[in-house]
A and B are shown apart, each in its own frame.
Chain A
């Protein structure tokens, strides 16, 4: 457990990277985890070459959800949309490096869900009143 709240996770939670709104964002997606009340909005600025020029996230919630978003946003700058879409849940969990209970998986994966939502250019997750931008 003391392993669970590792120093780097708490660092990301307290001083999240890429935190705030992104001016000139071309894509954004908001999602919540009703279980915890976690909230994340993911902002992407995609250039003409379909690469991520800039990224940011806004949100509030538990350490796991916020740290996961901070770590995830760190690695997407410069990636193409296709590369973004290829990031999967195992990758996110590997980044966190901890074993999560089923209840906390949703916290950890909320940022990925928001990132994918924005990468696909959605306002809502497919299946939940999906709309393309």
Chain B
């Protein structure tokens, strides 16, 4: 592969060494080594995560929290150990505030179905943004419609950054809940979540943050953010699908009703009365995806070992390398922020005269994996005036050479379509 020598093509990471940890990255499609640029959709898994999971199955698999025998105790210890790792990773004040769920979507729905249904009523105001993934938009839209609350949707400016003036104006409506993404999965915009949280708290609102695109890519500290809930997905941060987290303040979680009823979340059941288990198990009905959670623990170890600051710096270097080169292509328009400031390695673009699905198909012939579509961001797509975009999204294992391959594939698409 060509070695990029330009000034901006430097990174604090030993990327080739990292890549060697990810078996799938040396695989091929259509006879070419895969170039995986769909990390906003899901991430690849390092050997350490795969091994952590297979060793449970091969060495000591047993259901957690139940058996008084060695296998169960060992599996339980790893599962609860993963919870401790996650708590440390996001700097949670208490480990019992970390609730395992399937993914960010389930975590956000948990908050909506429990805290939301108990506290949001007719005439109440919920504030969200047009940047939201459907997962942090539809639950609140539906709740508002069901109970007669008002949903205020804060807009973005033409550069894809949140309209702070509109957000401040919305706070004057005294919302009960403010629910915002930390990083847009469609545009890569990073919102000033800490400042927004302080503003929302001053207005008397609780704050939910969708960290699905931020927690994998930068140090996210719930004490620093001072939010009330944070949801994220393990599969976007090197862990398996099925390993999601919703973190909430213990004082709030304590007062909330359970989300789902069943095994493990129970303290005592009589024919006419049930009482609930303690945190966090009150919110973990049924057998948890404990092997996935153990995989998430291993992913957290891996990320911390590489260093979240270094990962963030690496991705910023990729964005600084990619953005000007993409924007220099005639007919190519980048959606969202045009500089690396307050954005991450999620780049959505349009090539005039070629539909995103055709772009993605041509990329596929070069073994380049990107996403084409609305990215579960239809309110945002409507705002941008496009039904779909082509989206390339980076992670710690992506290289400058892969961006060069992306640029070459764009040239190929333009040649083929004669645009």
Spot the interface stretch: B196-204, B327-335, B358-366: B358-366
With an 8 A cutoff between CB atoms, is B383 at the interface? no
Please name 7 further chain A to chain B contacts, defined as beta carbons within 8 Å, in addition to the given A1-B30, A36-B373, sorted by A numbering. A1-B361, A1-B365, A10-B416, A37-B387, A62-B355, A63-B417, A104-B361
Number of B residues contacting the other chain (C-beta, 8 Å)?
Answer: 19
Q: Mark B6-47, 1 if CB is under 8 A from A, else 0.
A: 000000000000000000000000100000000000000000
Instruction: Judge if B236 is at the interface, Cβ distance under 8 Å.
Output: no
How distant is A80 from chain B, measured CB to nearest CB, in Å?
Answer: 34
A35 proximal to B (CB < 8 A): yes
Q: Are B357 and A36 in contact (CB under 8 A)?
A: yes
In the assembled complex, which residues on chain B have CB atoms less than 8 Å from the CB atom of A129?
Answer: none
> B388 contacts A36, CB within 8 Å?
yes
Contacts of B357 in A (CB 8 A): 36, 61-62, 64, 104, 107
The closest CB in chain B to the CB of A32 belongs to B387
Task: Determine if A36 and B365 form an interchain contact, defined as CB atoms under 8 angstroms apart.
Answer: no
Contact (Cβ within 8 A) A5 B417: yes
Contact A63 B373 (CB under 8 A): no
The one of B356, B362, B372, B374 in contact with A5, judged by C-beta atoms closer than 8 angstroms, is B362
CB pair B416–A5 under 8 Å, yes or no, is: yes
A8 beta carbon closer than 8 Å to chain B: no
Task: List residues of chain A with CB within 8 A of the CB of B364.
Answer: 1
Residues from chain B with a CB closer than 8 A to the CB of A10 are 416-418
Contact partners of B361 in chain A: CB under 8 A: 1, 4, 104
For residue A2, CB closer than 8 A to chain B, the reply is yes
Measured CA separation A89–B63 after assembly (Å): 49
Could you tell me which B residues sit within 8 Å of A by CB distance?
30, 354-358, 361-362, 364-365, 372-374, 381, 387-388, 416-418
Taking the closest CB of chain A, its distance from the CB of B392, in whole angstroms, is 18
Chain A's interface size range is 10 to 19
Do B417 and A35 have beta carbons less than 8 Å apart? no
User: Which of the residues B358, B362, B418 comes within 8 Å of A64, measured between beta carbons?
Assistant: B358
Which residues of the other chain, B, contact A37 by a CB distance below 8 angstroms?
373-374, 381, 387-388
Cβ-defined contact, A36 with B416, below 8 A = no
| Interface residue ranges of A5-54 to B (CB < 8 Å) | 5, 10, 34-37, 39
Instruction: For the complex, give the distance between the alpha carbons of A3 and B319 in Å.
Output: 33
Contacting residues, chain B, for A1 (C-beta < 8 A): 30, 361-362, 364-365
Residues of A within 8 A of B372 (CB): 36
Closest A residue to B353 by beta carbon equals A14
CA distance A31 to B72 in the complex (A): 53
**Minimal Cβ-Cβ distance residue in B for A4:** B361
Least distance between A69 CB and chain B CB atoms (Å): 13
Candidates B355, B374, B388; contact of A63 at CB < 8 Å:
B355
> Are B373's CB and A61's CB within 8 A?
no
Closest to B387 in A: A37
